[in-house]
Amino acid sequence: MSYKIIGTTADFKVKGWGSTREELLSSLGLGMAVGSCGIEVSPEKARQEGREFSIAVEGFDNESLVVNFLSELIYLYNVEKVFVWSFDLKVEGFNVAGKVYGLPVEQVSAELKAATYANLKVEHKNGQWEATVVFDI
């Protein structure tokens, strides 16, 4: 599970990898938080000190599942004022459910507006799931 952040002035991209779709979604969510905040919080700290949220998200394909999942995390930031740093997810078909753990962040470097479908492609190759997501800021 890993991610890479690629930024511009109007948006930034997060490329995520994982051996499962759960790991891919977690990587993209973590990359989104780091890209917006400029800091990284350990999953252990988020579980111990953060707030737990239950989530359930549907899609009609892998791309819509990714965008809908990340949109739910953006919603948590906008409403609860937390970024999610730890994930306990289960994907079945094009549905994801589970628990996420978030901590408040004092300052953001990029205010997130939306996860987009721009050039989004979820691929499974050589045993790895991979996707690059563009975020409007």
Any idea what the CATH number is for the domain that residue 101 is in? Answer: 3.55.10.10
| Distance linking the first and last C-alpha atoms of the chain | 25
72/8: higher pLDDT: 72
- Print the domain residue range for 85: 2-136
**DSSP-assigned letters across all residues of 33-64:** HHHHHS----HHHHHHHSEEEEEEEE-SSHHH
Cβ atoms of residues 122 and 63 within 8 Å: yes
pLDDT at 85 over 60: yes
Domain total in the chain: 1
Averaged pLDDT, 67-83? 95
89-123: per-residue pLDDT in tens?
Answer: 999 999 999 999 999 987 777 788 899 999 899 99
pLDDT at 59 over 70: yes
10-28: per-residue pLDDT in tens?
Answer: 678 899 999 999 999 999 9
Q: The tokens 């930024």 sit on which residue? A: 7
Residues in the chain: 137
pLDDT at 6 over 70: no
- Predicted TM-score (pTM) of the model is 0.91
What is residue 25's predicted lDDT score, i.e. its pLDDT? 98
8/49: higher pLDDT: 49
